[in-house]
């Protein structure tokens, strides 16, 4: 089988489980290290003709990360496209199983069982309320119905904007600082927040710098994510 993945998380999932299947991936697909697959540009601007030249049996996409016109073009050319929807941890586990055992016909990987066990055994931290920026200039934060927000909730961290009408609302910095949070959570992707870029904007709040891959990726990283996030959020 020949698979092209347009989602970094799913690229890692396929490559770790059955490396020989993956023939194409985006420029943003950074894991696993040393990935050998043709690059097909980005998640929002994939090289559709280039993908078709790879003769994939399956293209893997995500309803949030990829654009429907690109997926429609692939379908019109006769290519099967599997589109995942992942907004909770349960959906992540279900979609990974659907992709790997269903669409790809692989045995269920051990890492998927290990990830489920790691999250099931995770003791929550003391309850806290947090703002979770994902961009600045302008400031954007996690809003309602997000995978990252679900993971944080399982760790005892409530997203202040979880009930916002938008999933990634733009909120002025002064409003973020007045939102009644106990903590600001700063991931290093999609915007690369660092100790020198981000915490200074929230002088009254403790800042937790977290690895964005553990907060937003759904794949083999879910095995280590519970412990890594818990350590960062203490």
pLDDT per position as a tens digit, 10-40: 999 999 999 899 999 999 999 999 899 999 9
Q: What is the pLDDT of residue 122?
A: 87
Cα dihedral 91, 92, 94, 98 sign: positive
C-alpha of 231 from chain center: 19
Exposure class string for 55-87: b at 16+ Cβ within 10 A, else e: ebebbbbbebbbeeebbebbeeeebebbbbebb
Judge whether 46 and 40 are in contact, CB under 8 Å: yes
Q: Which residue has the tokens 């600045």?
A: 136
Using alpha carbons only, what angle is made at residue 114 by residues 112 and 115, rounded to the nearest 5 degrees? Answer: 65
Q: What is the pLDDT of residue 234?
A: 84
Average pLDDT over residues 189-201: 97
Other C-beta atoms within 10 Å of 22: how many?
A: 27
C-alpha to C-alpha distance for 43 and 74, rounded to whole angstroms: 14
3-108 folds as Rossmann fold (3.40.50)
C-alpha to C-alpha distance for 91 and 100, rounded to whole angstroms: 14
Whether cis (ω within 30° of 0) applies to the bond prior to 190 is yes
pLDDT at 124 > cutoff 80: no
Query: What tokens were used for 69?
Result: 């016109």
Q: What is the pLDDT of residue 125?
A: 82
Structurally, at CATH architecture level, domain 128-233 sits in 3-Layer(aba) Sandwich (3.40)
Q: Cβ neighbours of residue 228 under 8 Å, at least 6 residues apart?
A: 210, 211, 214
Strands lying side by side in the sheet with 58-62: 38-39, 22-25, 3-5, 58-62, 81-84
Residue 160: DSSP 8-state: T
Give residue-wise pLDDT tens across range 127-177: 999 999 999 999 999 999 999 999 999 999 999 999 999 999 999 999 999
Q: Are 3-108 and 128-233 equal in CATH topology?
A: yes
Judge whether 86 and 62 are in contact, CB under 8 Å: yes
Give residue-wise pLDDT tens across range 72-102: 999 999 999 999 999 999 999 999 999 999 9
Confidence of residue 123 (pLDDT cuts 50, 70, 90): confident
Q: Cβ neighbours of residue 110 under 8 Å, at least 6 residues apart?
A: none
Judge whether 96 and 219 are in contact, CB under 8 Å: yes
Give residue-wise pLDDT tens across range 197-234: 999 999 999 999 999 999 999 999 999 999 999 999 98
Domain ranges of the chain: 3-108, 128-233
Q: What is the pLDDT of residue 1?
A: 93
């Amino acid at each position: 089988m020949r698979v092209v993945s347009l989602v970094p998380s799913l690229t890692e999932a396929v490559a770790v489980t059955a490396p020989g299947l993956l023939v194409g991936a985006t420029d943003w697909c950074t894991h696993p290290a040393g990935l050998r697959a043709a690059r097909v540009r980005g998640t929002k601007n994939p090289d559709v003709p280039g993908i078709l030249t790879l003769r994939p049996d399956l293209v893997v996409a995500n309803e949030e990360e990829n654009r429907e016109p690109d997926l429609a073009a692939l379908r019109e050319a006769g290519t099967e496209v599997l589109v995942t929807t992942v907004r909770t941890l349960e959906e992540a586990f279900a979609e990974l199983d659907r992709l790997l055992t269903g669409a790809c016909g692989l045995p269920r990987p051990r890492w998927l069982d290990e990830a489920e066990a790691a999250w099931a055994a995770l003791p929550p931290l003391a309850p806290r309320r947090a703002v979770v920026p994902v961009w600045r200039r302008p400031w954007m934060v996690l809003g309602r119905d997000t995978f990252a927000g679900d993971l944080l909730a399982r760790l005892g961290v409530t997203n202040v904007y979880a009930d916002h009408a938008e999933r990634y609302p733009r909120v002025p910095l002064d409003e973020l600082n007045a939102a009644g949070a106990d903590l600001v959570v700063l991931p290093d992707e999609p915007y690369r927040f660092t100790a020198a870029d981000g915490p200074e904007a929230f002088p009254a709040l403790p800042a937790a710098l977290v690895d964005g891959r553990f907060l937003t990726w759904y794949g083999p990283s879910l095995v280590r994510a519970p412990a890594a996030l818990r350590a960062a959020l203490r």
